[in-house]
Chain A
Amino acid sequence: MTLDDPIRQVETARAELAKVAGSTHGWSDRQRQTFDGQRLKPLDEAGARLSAALQKAREQCAQAERLLSSR
């Protein structure tokens, strides 16, 4: 289906970043919170926004395909 691959790519990217960010041993909670809050969170939020937009677009494209296929 249209946009399946981009949606999967975004989710994979977000999961990988979260995994690495969650494994920063040696960082204090406060440091990690600061970094997450100021630097990584905007990246993840942008990914989430993209994912939501892609899913909406996929639904719209699926609706269009249904319209075209019904005769």
Chain B
Amino acid sequence: MIWPAASTISAAYGCDPVSDDLVKAEAHAVRALRHAVGRYAEQIREAVVGARREVTAADRRAHEAAEHRRSEFQRREQELKAAQAALAQCLRASGPDCDGLRQQVSAAAQRHAEARQSLDRARKAAQTTAAAQSDLVKVLQAVEATIGEHSSIASSALASLDAKLAELPHPGIGHTLQGIAAGALVGAEIAIAGMDLSRIGGDAAAPFNVNPPVRDHSISQAAEHQAVQELFYLAEKNAEDPSPGDTRGRAEGP
């Protein structure tokens, strides 16, 4: 296999050999991002809790209104029946004047119709809020799961990256390799975020001892992993080399 030059690998990762200042800047950025991810997850959780409470309250109000209007409708219905019964009794008795009772029946029928419309609107409102609640709850559950999973992954990745950046530089590694290591470490940590990183040790070669990604399966990530593995090989070979810093010659290979 032809090993690419260190600068080629570095460029492939988009990372030039880095200075201590850059490592510090990366560490600072990583911590800021980690804090931001945690805060984001917390803000979303609060919004979800608030949304659940507000939609539940809106649905309860609509259902209480529907129940109240159902009672009102039943009361108007009984009122109408009573007025109709009184008018019928008047008519059966052939009373001289049933006009007053007729007007009462008419007014009761009007209130009964209004109560029915009001009840229909409340029922429709209750159905709407119930649908809103049902739809939203599904999304809230999915979002909570997604945020929980990915904020945890991102936070873990950033915590590991932060720790690994803090470990740099390693004694016995040339400056150029340190640069590659820092850059590769960023890429590697990102590529394998969410994995068990406990295998990463403290000697010069160990930081590159990672497993294949198990969570991510994209072609770009597979290619990325391949490039990282090549870097591991390069680093291991360099660690065996008694003349530190001679990375380019070895990297260029046959």
Contacts and interface: CB of A to CB of B under 8 A. Distances in A.
B48 A35 contact: no
B154 A61 contact: no
B55 A3 contact: yes
Contacts, number: 180
Contact of A10 (B33, B47, B142, B153): B47
Contacts of A6: 47-48, 50-51, 54
Main secondary structure of the interface of A (DSSP, over half): helix
Q: How many of chain A's residues touch chain B, expressed as a range?
A: 35 or more
Nearest to A5: B50
Interface string A8-44: 0110111011001101111111110011001110110
Interface in A30-71: 30-31, 34-35, 38-40, 42-43, 45-47, 49-50, 53-54, 56-57, 60-61, 63-65, 67-68, 70-71
B26 A26 contact: yes
Interface stretch (B101-109, B123-131, B200-208, B238-246): B123-131
Main secondary structure of the interface of B (DSSP, over half): helix
A43 B131 CA distance: 26
A42 B39 CA distance: 16
A23 B35 CA distance: 13
A9 B15 CA distance: 36
B25 A28 contact: no
A68 B47 CA distance: 26
B224 A24 contact: no
A67 B66 CA distance: 11
Contact of A2 (B41, B58, B153): B58
Contact of B118 (A10, A63, A71): A71
B44 A46 contact: yes
Interface in B201-251: 216, 221, 224
B157 interface: yes
B85 interface: no
Given A21-B36, A38-B216, A53-B139, 6 more contacts: A5-B54, A31-B186, A35-B157, A39-B190, A43-B147, A57-B51
16 contacts: A6-B51, A6-B54, A24-B33, A27-B26, A30-B13, A38-B190, A39-B154, A39-B157, A40-B33, A43-B151, A46-B44, A46-B142, A46-B150, A49-B139, A60-B135, A64-B128
